[in-house]
Amino acid sequence: MLRYASIFLLLLLRLTALPQPDGRNNPVVLERFHDDALNITYFYPSRFARLPFPPATALTSDTRKCVQPTLFANSITPIDTSSFALSTVDNTCPDVLRFATQLGPFIRERIQSQLKQYGEPRIIQEPSSYTIDGHAAAITLASVIVPAPSGNVARTIYAAKACVLGSIPARGRKQSEPAGPISHVVCFDFTTQNSDLLNLMFSFIVQFDDRPLEPMFSGRVLSRRKAGGLG
């Protein structure tokens, strides 16, 4: 399975190099972004356009000084607005970094805090653990209904938050043994007004250092979401 996944990723990247009639509307075309500080490369659908981080982003004001924004991009169509943000939690705030390394509790608390500005958030999927090229990761899904003025229809915002440890625990370490110091945690936030577009997350690819390309999200996470539904 890993072999076929690698072949698929290489084929997908080669397709992005071919001439395309309209890259912005072609879901196969991927854009590339390299984080020089961490030597991490991200590939994401070209429908998203990079933008400066707006005053109000997925990062709330109480954590802005502790979470370093890396990339913000959005996609606006006649029927939907979607966006994603990449950020890094480092040792600028040791307590926040320590909490972030727990992954599951951190992403659950953060996604609820981020959506509270719109209404009462609801967890769609509790944090699920997986790995990306040996890096421990976790993802959670949530939604919030945004009240509308009288006479208008309320809208729902769907959100996903995933974080991954920036380093890999030493091989042979027992679970009962303390892990080495983690210098940073990389996080990904995705929001959309169309639940079907959550599937776009599975087009994202990441590469740590010069390691093989890897999907940013595990396929089994998608299976769980489909089984649980978004109703």
Domains held by the chain: number = 1
* Structural domain boundaries enclosing 33: 2-228
How far, in Å, are 12, 48, 82, 229 from residue 196 at the CA level? 21, 16, 11, 11
What's 87's domain CATH number? 3.40.1000.10
Residue 96, pLDDT score: 93
Residues 131-142: tens digit of each pLDDT: 999 999 999 999
Q: Is the pLDDT of residue 120 over 90?
A: yes
Q: What whole-number percentage of the chain has pLDDT above 90?
A: 48
Window from 6-10, 90-94, 156-160, 175-179 with minimum mean pLDDT: 6-10
The pTM for the full model equals 0.78
Determine the pLDDT at residue 78. 74
Cα dihedral sign, 223-6-167-16 = negative
Sequence-separated contacts (24+) of 11-16 with Cβ below 8 Å: 12/205, 13/43, 13/205, 13/213, 16/43, 16/46
Residue range 29-60, pLDDT digits in tens: 899 999 999 999 999 999 999 988 765 544 44
Q: What is the average per-residue pLDDT within 159-186? A: 73
Lowest mean pLDDT among 77-86, 183-192, 215-224: 215-224
pLDDT at residue 99, as a whole number: 95
pLDDT at position 149, please? 78
